[in-house]
Amino acid sequence: MQNHNVHTFHIPVLGLAFSIDTPLRVARYGIASVISIVDDILIERMREYYSNLYGKPFTAITPKEDDHRARRITAYLNLVNHIVHEQTAKLKASAFEQGSEIVKYFEMLADHSPLKALYRRLVAARSAVHRANLETELRSRIVAGAIDVNIMTKLDKVNPGTHGSEPLPDSSDAVAALRGFVRSELGSSVVLSAGLNPRLFNYMERCPEFLPGPDGVSPKSVVLKVSDYRSASIQGKLLAKKGIWISEYRIESGLNCGGHAFATDGILLGPILREFKEKREPLTSELHALYCAALRGKGRNAPAEPRPVRITVQGGIGTTAEDEFLREYFEMDGTGWGSPFLLVPEATNVDERTRAKLAAAGKEDYYISDASPLGIAFNNLRGSSSEELIRRRVAEGKPGSPCTKKYLVSNTEFTKEPICTASRQYQSLKIDQLQGMDLTAEELEFRIQKVVEKSCLCEDLAASPFVGTPTEDERVSRAVAVCPGPNLAYFSRIATLEEMVGHIYGRLQLISDSSRPNLFINELRLYIDYLKNEMGKKLESLTTNEHRYLTTFRGNLQEGIEYYRCLIPRLAKETERYREIMWTQLQDLELELEMLVIPLPGMEPVLVECRPRTG
């Protein structure tokens, strides 16, 4: 099922569970979305649920069966694909009358869409014959949104063979997940995030589904989620040399996004988009040459012209003016709107309590935390039930979580086999170690707090669909961790799908806070705070490498500020007052950046706080 982009936006992957069934909720309306295929246990439970809901046969795939992880993923993706086909066929057959599915499909389209213009002709038609012809044409133009899948490449634990035997070839988590997608009936894309994984990339080369067929089209496509141009170029070349074409680069803000936050070295979104715009054609040409050479080496025909490449952007977009500016000025082919859809019950799988907390949360409730066992910055919500569970376990003297899924095991500080830093086993061992060290009471308390703040993301990011349901395993919590982007602070109410899509296209306004800064200003604020935090971590004197890193980081921020000075006048669709406020905010942040003193190696770090200009 191919995506023909009837909408200008897509819904990116949201945690483990929040978008696990989003295609079943929105694909029939032409909206593309992304499923995480990290957690095969969650996937198997969702397959059972939807098989029962839609009256489909279900036979469990147990962990004792060979290649069960890949087979579970294939089975679920096939089920989703079948149901979406049925939903779309039913929508196509519905009547063009108020409140029907087919009317909802066309009403949600962007007002500038050619398909929307055709629908308006139907609404205005008076002749019965003319209406019938238009209805037939409109029905033939209906397409479902893409059912894409996401693999976080860093999550690639090697698994033992069946019954504890030696690891089987190609049995690691990421490789097995990819195999599950490759064997599915989906004609869509795998979205690779979190950087290079040579083992996964080498396996991809052996999958003919990623190579072009006689018509020059690959059965499966590859999308790279990247934070900057350099990453896109390196990964794109590596895969092109294997005969794999990147159909889309999804640029994501390093910090103004949801989920794990992969900060750049201070390179801001605006300069990143400028570089993609300027180097798009040279990059495509270079990749085309490498791609063709690889195909010829495999005995396949090489295309005379480069295959299409889409470039999209996501992270922190909040208004239709921002969306349009990104697509028009930076020539983006589309945008990703993620966190706002956490407030849309029709689109995402979020329990009522968590959704209500998200709707009520203010700016101070969204923060970048150290909660991830991966050691990567993680966007978090204060007061989540996951946080409450962590505090309760600490108070009961039982910090840490039972480690049942083991997707994030990586630490070998105390054990031969990797364990997870959020596990009860690791935290008990680590706390015992700290208590045996010669530390002040204050330092001991600080270090213990850093240990126990790790969240069991395997369980808590997958718990939302099952809140309020019984569990056979008492160790499994129903606490929910949620990882929204900070931009969600400006959306203050639960919305319908039509309302959120209407907001994206400028038909209505869901942001009640008129003081919300532009997305570029928001991201700059986040990066300056991140720089302060990085400087604050250096309790001892800086090393030469740390000094170089912090200096480069600040220099890149300053270059971004200079670029934004030139960019503000180009925001032609914004009011003059809006541009004036943005200019003042940019000056304030520049002054704040200038007041940060990065000491020379061997000197104590100094953080100079300043009050921003009032303008």
What are 340-386's pLDDT values in tens digits?
Answer: 999 999 999 999 999 999 999 999 999 999 999 999 999 999 999 99
User: 588 lies in which domain range?
Assistant: 517-615
pLDDT at 192: 98
Helix (H) or strand (E) holding 9: strand 9-11
Contact 133, 383 (CB under 8 A): no
Among 499, 347, 477, which Cα is nearest to 424's? 477
pLDDT at 615: 35
Contact 410, 418 (CB under 8 A): yes
pLDDT at 116: 97
- Residue 276 in any domain: the answer is no
Q: Once rounded to an integer, what is the mean pLDDT over residues 81-100?
A: 97
- Residue 336 in any domain: the answer is no
Identity of the amino acid at 35: I
- Residue 453 in any domain: the answer is no
CA max distance for the chain: 88
pLDDT at 603: 65
Examine the pLDDT at 1 and tell me if it is beyond 80.
Answer: no
DSSP E strands in 277-406: the ranges are 310-314, 334-336, 366-369, 378-381
Q: What is the mean pLDDT of the chain?
A: 93
| Sign of the four-CA dihedral 545, 546, 551, 553 | positive
pLDDT tens-place string over residues 508-542: 999 988 899 999 999 999 999 999 999 887 656 78
How many C-beta atoms surround the C-beta of residue 611 within 10 A?
9
pLDDT at 614: 38
pLDDT at 233: 97
Examine the pLDDT at 227 and tell me if it is beyond 50.
Answer: yes
- Residue 588 in any domain: the answer is yes
Task: Write down how long the chain is.
Answer: 615
CA torsion 99-104-108-113 (nearest 10°) is -120
Give the burial class of 558: count Cβ atoms within 10 A of its Cβ; 0-12 exposed, 13-18 middle, 19 or more buried: middle
3-state SS assignment for residue 245: coil
- Residue 523 in any domain: the answer is yes
Among 314, 256, 335, 318, which Cα is nearest to 512's? 318
Identity of the amino acid at 145: G
- How confident is residue 216, by pLDDT bands cut at 50, 70 and 90? confident
Q: Once rounded to an integer, what is the mean pLDDT over residues 124-128?
A: 96
pLDDT at 165: 64
Examine the pLDDT at 280 and tell me if it is beyond 60.
Answer: yes
CA distance 137 to 119: 10
Share of the chain above pLDDT 90, in %: 88
**What is the DSSP-derived secondary structure letter of residue 240?**
H
Examine the pLDDT at 277 and tell me if it is beyond 90.
Answer: yes
**Residue given tokens 């190696």 in the structure block:** 601
CA distance 506 to 111: 9
- Residue 141 in any domain: the answer is no
pLDDT at 228: 96
CA distance 583 to 412: 50
- Residue 572 in any domain: the answer is yes
Q: Once rounded to an integer, what is the mean pLDDT over residues 109-129?
A: 96
Number of structural domains found in the chain: 1
Assign residue 259 a region: left if phi > 0, alpha if psi is -120 to 50, beta otherwise?
Answer: left
Q: What predicted TM-score, i.e. pTM, was given to this entire model?
A: 0.94
Examine the pLDDT at 55 and tell me if it is beyond 50.
Answer: yes
- Residue 611 in any domain: the answer is yes
